[in-house]
Amino acid sequence: MKSFRNYLTLAIVVVVFIFATLKIEAQQVESDWSKCPDGSAVVRCATYNCPEGDTNKDGQCTASDEKSKLTDLRNDALCANPPSGCGQVYYYNKDGKACASRIKDLDFCPIKAGDSFTPTVTPTPTPRSVGGIETQTAFCLSLTATPTLGKAPLLVKITAQGQDPKGEITEYEFNFGDSKSDKPQIVRQKSRFASYRYEKPGTYTLSVKVKDSLGNWIDGGSACSKKIVVTANSSELPKTGLSSGLGLALVGAFLSGVYLYSKFRIV
């Protein structure tokens, strides 16, 4: 009898353990934001807090919304939820592309892009230094260029956006990628706004790097790179003047006319 009770107790313990393990695994699957939909690993994340909601009506919480703020930035997938209860968390792969996002969608927070999520305890922040060596947490968020397609000469207006939650982006490096021009192609400046005129037809790669508060230059990856396509200007007028062949033909026709007139003219 005692042996049966021991086996029964052991069986109950095993069943409880299996059930708890399955429940933990299910919870991990439901809250697993460590991978992108394509299976690639998430290398960093960013939380935007939008207490006023989606003020620019683009369906997202970004730096362009009123009173929005970057409240968490990590080199992993453990970004905290927006403190106001309204915002969006973006997940980036190694190419710098935002491959997924999660949102807090309440009645006062009309953000519809992404999946809803359950608030969790704010995780421990990513260390700013490892072994006494400062680590980089800033990155280039986006690059906009207007227009990206047009006829030569094409004037392109450029806007870059970088973030450094532990300080400020101190400088931007614009690379216009125009090997057909003698103009400087790499320009470093404090302003995130720039412009460039592409004079000749071709396909160019425009890219941006950012400099964080520690003095590190950070490549923007695909998130801060644009293709610029410049086509030939078909509205140009053809060159004026006659070709040598046409000129000789006209002279010949004129002389022939004079000869025929002098030979067959009526007196």
Degrees, nearest 5: CA angle 201-204-208? 145
| Residue 148: exposure state from Cβ atoms within 10 A (0-12, 13-18, ≥19) | middle
Cβ contact 87:49 at 8 Å: yes
Q: Where are the beta strands (DSSP E) in the chain?
A: 44-49, 69-74, 87-92, 98-104, 115-116, 129-130, 133-134, 139-146, 149-151, 154-163, 171-175, 186-189, 193-198, 202-211, 217-219, 225-231
Degrees, nearest 5: CA angle 29-222-124? 45
pLDDT of residue 12: 64
pLDDT of residue 56: 77
Instruction: Report the distance separating Cα 50 and Cα 60, nearest Å.
Output: 9
Encoded amino acid at 93, one letter: N
pLDDT of residue 4: 57
pLDDT of residue 90: 84
pLDDT of residue 189: 96
Query: In the numeric block, which tokens belong to residue 267?
Result: 């007196």
Q: Are strands 98-104 and 115-116 parallel, antiparallel or unpaired?
A: parallel
pLDDT of residue 103: 74
pLDDT of residue 184: 94
The full set of domains in the chain, from first to last, is 33-126 (no CATH), 134-231 (2.60.40.10)
Q: What is the pLDDT along the chain (267 residues), one digit of tens a residue?
A: 556 566 556 656 555 555 444 443 333 333 456 788 888 888 888 888 888 877 877 777 877 778 888 787 777 888 888 888 788 888 888 777 777 777 754 555 766 544 443 333 334 444 444 444 444 567 888 899 999 999 999 999 999 988 887 788 999 999 999 999 999 999 999 999 999 999 999 999 999 999 988 888 888 777 789 999 999 987 654 454 445 555 566 656 666 665 555 665 544
